[in-house]
Amino acid sequence: MSLEFDVLVVGAGPAGLATAIRSRAEGLTVAVVDGASGPPVDKACGEGLMPDGVEALRRLGVDPTALDARPFGGIRYVDGDTVAEGTFPGTPGLGVRRTRLHAALVERAVEAGVDIRWQVKVTRLVEGPGGSFTALAAPTAAHRRSDRLTAGAEAAAAAAPLPARFLVGADGLLSRVRRWAGLGGRPSRSRRFGVRRHLRVPPVEVPRVVEVWWGDRCEAYVTPVGPEEVGIAMLWDGRTADFDALLAGFPRLAARLAGREVLSRDRGAGPLRQRVRGVVRGNVALVGDASGYVDAITGEGLSLAFHQAGALARALAAGDLAPYAAAQRRLGRLPDGTTRLLLAVERRPFLRRRAVRALAADPALFSRLLAVHAREAPLASLGWSGAARLVWRLARS
């Protein structure tokens, strides 16, 4: 059987589209399939880009200034009466509605020559000789109704293979490609979830930074996503899924937002923690959230996905996925380590309060830590002096 495409990407979210765009730049033929009815597709996450993610977006050919987005210059932690703020040293981050970002990535992918097939759902993978996999896909019910397929045509469509040299699973946290390829890890005991809502606020109340409000077993994130719009995201341990109940746990924030116009329906995601055995098997590779996820607490998901997409495209062009597996581990080492550290602090209120007080007392140190986190400075730039300052501040707080 001749291969129709070099690369078949399952999932037309930011990670899948970025992989498709970068693969086209390497001269590969690429198809993307997604069960959604078409763009833009909204999701609960993916609205804050760290500075390195903004630069990666530019490399994809998407102009960040054309997204009606809002730059943010740093991160502000709020824990009770303590406020700590750090700034990025160079390029600001970017808050943008997921729908606007998705529409721009779809437009860029089409411009690059990517074959995007909406309302097409991969139903399973079939393993062939040598451990290679082929995807079987069917049109969604909405697609079948719109095309008025006969019963016989539906049966034929349901069994249709989509031949490709490589398969990329970019189908999110609960990736079925990951499961079908045998790459899923053991279930996590962590039951962290997220939920998001958008509100209209006066321009003077749109923050110039991303605010992180710390509570016991819950955090509230305020991200500027437009000239008069903020996204409010809650991350919590799964005790309740009611947005307003979670917001009530932050009385000062709730009072500030009271009466504001709601611009979107609440969207949730989770459980956030997803383990993997690996990100490559045979001709299958995983990218983005499908490649394993720790938590959204650091806001690094989009930026990491864009970096992974570049590494994966280079490996696909070379015809060898092994370098991507190594690159994926290397790219995730720092953000995953930072995420685990913050989660450990989040679970210990006494330590969390000391950490926020320490950062509040030393904004320059907070800014240095942000520069490392945003890949604007190497970890070595923190140095022994920076580590010693942090320990000293923790001890004094």
Q: What is the pLDDT of residue 386?
A: 61
Q: What is the pLDDT of residue 188?
A: 82
> Looking up tokens 């581990």, which residue turns up?
329
> Looking up tokens 């495409």, which residue turns up?
5
Least confident piece of the model among 79-83, 148-152, 299-303: 148-152
Determine contact, residues 60/18, Cβ cutoff 8 Å.
yes
- Tell me the percentage of the chain whose pLDDT exceeds 90: 74
* pLDDT tens, position by position, 186-241: 888 878 999 999 999 999 999 999 999 999 889 999 999 999 999 999 999 877 66
pLDDT-based confidence at residue 396 (cuts at 50, 70, 90): low
* Lookup: tokens for 34: 């997604």
Q: What is the pLDDT of residue 179?
A: 97
Of residues 168, 155, 163, the one with CA closest to residue 136: 163
Alpha helices in the chain (DSSP H): 14-25, 51-59, 98-112, 141-147, 151-158, 176-180, 243-247, 251-257, 301-318, 322-346, 349-361, 363-373, 383-396
The 8-class DSSP code of residue 175 comes to -
Q: What is the pLDDT of residue 190?
A: 77
Q: What is the pLDDT of residue 149?
A: 45
Q: Is the dihedral of CA 377, 379, 383, 386 positive or negative?
A: positive
What count of other Cβ atoms lies within 10 Å of the Cβ of residue 130? 7
Please provide the DSSP assignment of 226-274 as one string. ETTEEEEEEEE-SS---HHHHHTTSHHHHHHHTTPEE-S--EEE----B
* Lookup: tokens for 13: 């979210």
pLDDT-based confidence at residue 15 (cuts at 50, 70, 90): very high
Q: What is the pLDDT of residue 298?
A: 87
Q: What is the pLDDT of residue 90?
A: 85
What count of other Cβ atoms lies within 10 Å of the Cβ of residue 388? 10
> Looking up tokens 């990670």, which residue turns up?
15
For the segment 282-292, the average pLDDT, to the nearest whole number, is: 97
CATH 3.30.9.30 residue ranges for the chain: 69-92+190-269
Q: What is the pLDDT of residue 100?
A: 95
**pLDDT value at 397 more than 70:** no
CA distance 228 to 100: 15
β-pair type (284-286, 164-169): parallel
* Lookup: tokens for 104: 């721009």
pLDDT-based confidence at residue 144 (cuts at 50, 70, 90): very low
Q: What is the pLDDT of residue 34?
A: 97
Domain made up of 5-49+100-188+273-338: CATH architecture: 3-Layer(bba) Sandwich (3.50)
Mean of all residue pLDDT scores within the chain: 90
* pLDDT tens, position by position, 317-333: 999 999 999 999 999 99
Least confident piece of the model among 30-39, 78-87, 145-154: 145-154
pLDDT-based confidence at residue 380 (cuts at 50, 70, 90): confident
pLDDT-based confidence at residue 154 (cuts at 50, 70, 90): very low
**pLDDT value at 155 more than 80:** no
For the segment 59-67, the average pLDDT, to the nearest whole number, is: 94
Residue type, 383: G
Q: What is the pLDDT of residue 4?
A: 86
pLDDT-based confidence at residue 286 (cuts at 50, 70, 90): very high
**pLDDT value at 145 more than 60:** no
**pLDDT value at 11 more than 50:** yes
CA distance 3 to 180: 21
Per-residue CA distances from 156 to 1, 149, 160 (Å): 18, 10, 6
For the segment 344-357, the average pLDDT, to the nearest whole number, is: 91
Contacts of 140 (CB under 8 A, 6+ apart): 35, 37, 119, 120, 121
CATH 3.30.9.30 fits 69-92+190-269, yes or no: yes
Helix (H) or strand (E) holding 74: strand 74-79
Helix (H) or strand (E) holding 26: none
CA distance 294 to 301: 10
Longest dimension (CA), the chain: 74
CA distance 164 to 5: 5
Least confident piece of the model among 129-133, 140-144, 216-220: 140-144
- Tell me the percentage of the chain whose pLDDT exceeds 70: 89
